[in-house]
Structure 1
Amino acid sequence: MIDTFVALLLAHALADFPLQSDALAQAKQDRSPRALALHALIVMATATLAIAPTRAEALIPLAVLTLAHILIDIAKTYAPNTLASFLVDQAAHIGTLVAIAVLHPTLFGQGLYADTPLLPSIMTAIAGLIIATQAGGYAVGLLVRPFGRAFRAEGLPRGGVMIGLLERGLIFLFVLAGQPSAVGFLIAAKSVLRFDASKRKQKAAEYVIIGTLASFGWALICAYATLALLDHLPPLGIKALKD
């Protein structure tokens, strides 16, 4: 069952983040039929590629999953675009993944990848990285957005977004490599490089602190959740992951 779940989790992470542009997300928010249909196609395609079913009837639960995904997305358009609604939306999506995995536990094992025991572990690591970095960026952005209106942000265009992606990616990799203590050095480095630049602007400093703590916290949660899933899957063969 867990191999089916992690395969679908990777498919979901890909469909909702790297394969969903800002323009597509906005069009979905406006309930554009074309955008919803395109997103449904992406969801179905990624789920099908992740499971690689060998029987036509295996496409039925994937089609149900796709329909549930789009219905959840439509429901989200009626809620304000806040961190809470984003978390509820993602929890609902993950709930549908769990339901499909429970009802169809052999979906992955009966597909083309059945003889690749390490693949679910690799899928878990990739899905965790996407959720830690890209989903985390969206979540942190929603959290700090109200505070950002209090002052005019300065710096490179999308510089903060890139810094956030890099720091969450590094934290995720440090934890999976069994070196969580390295996160402390990352905090110290960011403190020197960024907090000092805003120490004379209290609003900017507080904005950076809130965003940093949220970003680090999100990455740590994703990393340890990924490790928890990996504990139930074949080891990847990287010694550091288990040390």
Structure 2
Amino acid sequence: MQLFLALVIAHLLGDFVLQRRAVIDGKREGRPAALLEHGAWHLASLVAAWLLFAPSGIGVGAVTIAFAAIVLLHLLTDLVKYRLPGERTLAAFAVDQAVHVGVLVVAAWWLSGRPDWTAAVVEWWRPNAGRFGVLLASYLLVVVAFGWANRLALQSLLPESNDSQAGLARAGLYIGWLERFLMFSAVLIGAWSILGLVLAAKSVFRFDSIRKRREHAEYFVIGTLLSVSEVVAVGLALRWLAPELTGGS
């Protein structure tokens, strides 16, 4: 795991921190200089992360081969991505990053002596599957299911919107999911101040809309109180029924 984390740190540095906008534009235009600069920064990041975080005892030859393969496959993936239509979409970004991380997984597996990771994962997962299942079900209930239920319950108070505002309404749904995710996480770990911070930030951002339109104020206040009540109720129940999952008592 330490070895893989070192490779991930190098990837994050090379792909997001050290990559200039001019390099991105150059790769999109197919300029060799941009590819060489991007590859050089990735190689430098790999060396630095390896020296700082990777375990010792792995031969220099194996590391050199792995680093060369990682950089070359990374540049090849970028070349393919920028030649495909829709390369600026979220889906293209997700696929691109998945390929990069997949290469890092294979490299870490090879450098660590090709261990049987499947058996290790299964051995770790079996005693923890129930706990993760309970947490996943709780998050889906609080974040997603309650989000849709609240929207339906308060439909009569929802301000009318035209087609041009449909996207904003959808964004509001996603914001609600993020709010409940943050608040539920805060309740589970007992960080009540984070819950208050989320509510304060939400109030500040919605202040102008609430002040100008009464229907927005009613929808905001009732929806917020309903969400908070659900989050706190489920969170406290989980802390009481399964304290080993949350650190509660």
* TM-score normalised by the chain length of structure 2: 0.48
Higher relative contact order structure (alpha carbons within 8 Å, sequence separation ≥ 6): 1
* TM-score normalised by the chain length of structure 1: 0.49
